[in-house]
Amino acid sequence: MDVARTQGLPGNLPASLAAELRGEIAVLRLSRPQKRNALDDGTVFGLETFFQELPSNVKAVVLHGEGDHFSAGLDLNELTERDFAEAVDHSRNWHRVFEQIEFGKVPVISVLHGAVVGGGLELACATHVRVAERSTYYGLPEGTRGIFVGGGGSVRIPRVIGVSRMMEMMLTGRTYGAEEGFAIGLSHYLVEPGTGLQKGLELAEKIARNTRLTNFAIMHALPRIAESDRASGYLTESLVASLTQSGDEAKARLKAFLEGKAPKVLRD
């Protein structure tokens, strides 16, 4: 990787991750194609390092997978014999790391293809925008393997597709194809094979043009407002709306719109 393209990004990543900088966009690649990008502890802790140490000039991240798959989930070699406390600690490690993505510094776009299974789906659902190529398929095989999701999936995935559908996926081992996944909300965009990364970069560049404060409010305040009671939600919304529109950049953008100098909303 060219040094100029990685300058400022965390340099102490494991071999299973590769990062590069494209202007204000950081691109992070899962790089265990021989393991279908299965997530071992080294990779998970590498994700934590990357998202904790993102430099301030980065405004969005695109996450994708090398080879034929995004991620086939937990590397089952990691399921060594643990006592109860050790198993809880392992799961909590994943929770902590994936929260660095969901409630981190910048929006994250995941580009999906091939297997998005188990922990791979848990990782994808921690990102904010999901682009799926038509080769993508989704599954939660934990039920058939005598285990349970442990990376936050039981919290995040029902908020995307509903408890009943997740329950059925886990009980039966059913997989969903790319079109079905798009229809039920597992992805926001469905694109042709080989075009996902370009679409992810286009979306990241669009997101990076938003103000940092607005992006922060959308990432951090919106999901919490949605989960709060109505009265608390309305109050929090008022405070966040007032905060975002009080910034100098927001005032300048609103002024430009009122003066006809900003583009109007049009359908893509």
The type of residue at 196 is G
Sheet harboring 25-30: ordered strands across?
17-22, 25-30, 60-65, 108-112, 129-133, 189-191
CB-based contacts of 33-36 (< 8 A; 24+ apart in sequence): 33/65, 33/66, 33/67, 33/68, 33/69, 34/67, 35/72, 35/75, 36/67, 36/68, 36/69, 36/71, 36/72, 36/114, 36/115
The type of residue at 201 is L
Q: Which of 50, 37, 2, 49 is closest to 22 using CA atoms?
A: 2
What is the distance between the alpha carbons of residues 98 and 124, in angstroms, rounded to a whole number?
A: 10
Catalytic residue ranges:
122, 142
Query: Cβ(29)–Cβ(19) under 8 Å?
Result: yes
The length of the chain, given as a count of residues = 268
What is the distance between the alpha carbons of residues 43 and 71, in angstroms, rounded to a whole number?
A: 11
What 3-state DSSP class applies to 147? coil
pLDDT tens series, the chain, 268 aa = 444 456 679 889 999 999 999 999 999 999 999 999 999 999 999 999 999 999 999 999 999 999 999 999 998 877 777 889 999 999 999 999 999 999 999 999 999 999 999 999 999 999 999 999 999 999 999 999 899 999 999 999 999 999 999 999 999 999 999 999 999 999 999 999 999 999 999 999 999 999 999 999 999 999 999 999 999 999 999 999 999 988 778 778 777 767 776 676 667 6
Query: Cβ(81)–Cβ(172) under 8 Å?
Result: no
What is the distance between the alpha carbons of residues 136 and 144, in angstroms, rounded to a whole number?
A: 21
What is the distance between the alpha carbons of residues 220 and 50, in angstroms, rounded to a whole number?
A: 19
Q: How do 137-139 and 175-177 pair as beta strands?
A: antiparallel
What is the distance between the alpha carbons of residues 50 and 9, in angstroms, rounded to a whole number?
A: 8
Helix (DSSP H) and strand (DSSP E) numbers for the chain: 12, 9
What is the distance between the alpha carbons of residues 236 and 231, in angstroms, rounded to a whole number?
A: 9
What domains are defined for the chain? Answer: 3-208 (3.90.226.10), 212-258 (1.10.12.10)
